Chains A and B, each alone.
Chain A
Amino acid sequence: MTASAKLLLMALSLALGTTSAALAQAVAPAPLGALSPENLSKQRPKAPFDLTGTWLHDNKDGPNSWRFIPPTFKLTPQAQEQYDLGQKATKEGKVYRDDIGQCWPAGMPLIMTRVWPIAMVQLPTAIYMTSAFMNSLRIIYLDGRQHSNPDIVVPSFNGESIGHWEGNTLVVDTKYFPGHHHWMDQGGASIPASDQLHIVERIRMINSGKVLEIEYTMTDPKSWEGDWKMTKRWNRVDDDITEVECWPDLNDHIRSTSSSSQIR
């Protein structure tokens, strides 16, 4: 090998080495999967409660029990514009931007208060929630991981939820939303949920494990000012969930979704 060929080889290996090091720095090692045997078998303190079961939101106070409308709020100009259009539609007997009816996901927090119950399975590493509405999946990680790198995470309507225990309360932090076709209410207060929506849930199990109480603190600087706080309850029910899909031809039959009283 000539001297110049040796030099070229050295330069190449240096360049390759630098690239690999840079790549290793940019991409942090992925956490162990929540269902990996290694993660599941790690020693952890016993969880204060197990919410494995099927839950249906408490509907006894009528529509306000499922709606997410704060008693008082100050919206940003862009959210106020949407809200006003929603109010105008309601006054005219119309419905403004019912994206859920067009098969867009309900997303957090509305997915928690649909007509259908939510099946929850709690493991030491995560809670898996499947809403019987559109089989919507929500995962709350409990294995000590941090939120994902914002440059890598894929925004989703139910967001990324990371939970930890504070005494007998499960505190869940949820963010990373898509910021489009996502609303805080359906067919009422048209307050949009932006990609800056951030939800903290304080979850308690009460009434001998029959009732789940969640205190919500929600911020979204693109849509409203300050903290939006609400507390809602779920009752344990003995129903199994079933498959619910928004088929391509569903709204051909559910024709109110294309009625002229819908404002898109």
Chain B
Amino acid sequence: MKKIIHSIIGLSIVFMTVSLAGHHSPAVFDRTKEVKLVGSVKEFRWSNPHSFIELDVRNEKGGTDTWAVEMDPPTYLVKAGWTARTIKAGDMVTIVVNPVRTSEPIGKFVSITLPGGKVLTEKPPSPTP
């Protein structure tokens, strides 16, 4: 049962995210895939029409890929607990993204685990019953 509830929650989150149309079409991202990135924040910009994170991630060849992580506008992020100071360049974080359908290091933000262990998404926390 718990599994079913989790799936439903997962589905509704995907549904809500897909339904938002912003500066660019969200169809470019593969919502069925999630990639976990561990790396160092190169830049975090708190801005309209989208906030974004550039994350330096070590690749298999020993080099570094700079991932472009695209986010919702700050008006949505604030409701999800974000501020302009939530992360800064140099912070080591784990970020989950829906990647683009190519092999390019580009993704739509799903969630972040901050250096202290706190997890944030782009959605406001569900009201407690």
A residues apposed to B, CB below 8 Å: 59, 62-63, 65-67, 90, 93-95, 98, 100-101, 113-116, 133-134, 186-188, 239, 242-246, 250, 253-257, 259-262
Contacts and interface: CB of A to CB of B under 8 A. Distances in A.
Nearest to B43: A253
A187 B19 CA distance: 12
Nearest to A262: B28
Nearest to A62: B19
A116 to B, nearest CB: 7
A253 B45 contact: yes
B4 interface: no
Contacts of B68: 253-256
Nearest to A98: B25
Interface in B14-37: 15, 18-30
A37 B25 CA distance: 43
Contacts of B74: 242
A90 B27 CA distance: 8
B102 A59 contact: no
B21 A113 contact: yes
Nearest to A57: B21
B23 A100 contact: yes
B29 A256 contact: yes
Given A62-B15, A187-B27, A261-B102, A256 B21 contact: no
Contacts of B75: 116, 239, 242
Interface of B: 15, 18-30, 43, 45, 48-50, 52, 54, 68, 70, 72-76, 100-102, 104, 106, 108
Nearest to A90: B27
Given A93-B101, A95-B27, A187-B26, A242 B18 contact: no
Given A62-B18, A94-B101, A255 B27 contact: no
A133 B49 contact: yes
A259 B54 contact: no
B87 to A, nearest CB: 15
B101 A253 contact: no
B73 A244 contact: yes
A185 to B, nearest CB: 9
A260 B29 CA distance: 12
Contact of A261 (B22, B26, B28, B54): B28
Nearest to A134: B49
B15 to A, nearest CB: 6
Given A114-B22, A254-B70, 20 more contacts: A63-B19, A90-B27, A98-B28, A100-B23, A100-B24, A115-B21, A115-B72, A116-B73, A116-B75, A133-B49, A187-B24, A188-B25, A188-B27, A242-B75, A245-B48, A254-B52, A256-B108, A257-B24, A261-B28, A262-B28
B50 A254 contact: yes
A256 B24 contact: yes
A115 B101 contact: no
19 contacts: A63-B18, A94-B101, A100-B23, A114-B21, A115-B73, A116-B22, A188-B27, A242-B75, A244-B49, A253-B52, A253-B54, A254-B23, A254-B50, A255-B68, A256-B100, A256-B106, A257-B23, A260-B102, A260-B104
B25 A186 contact: yes
A227 B98 CA distance: 38
The 7 closest A-B pairs by CB, nearest first: A187-B25, A101-B24, A255-B68, A244-B48, A187-B27, A93-B101, A98-B25
B126 to A, nearest CB: 16
A93 B72 CA distance: 22
Nearest to A65: B19
B103 to A, nearest CB: 9
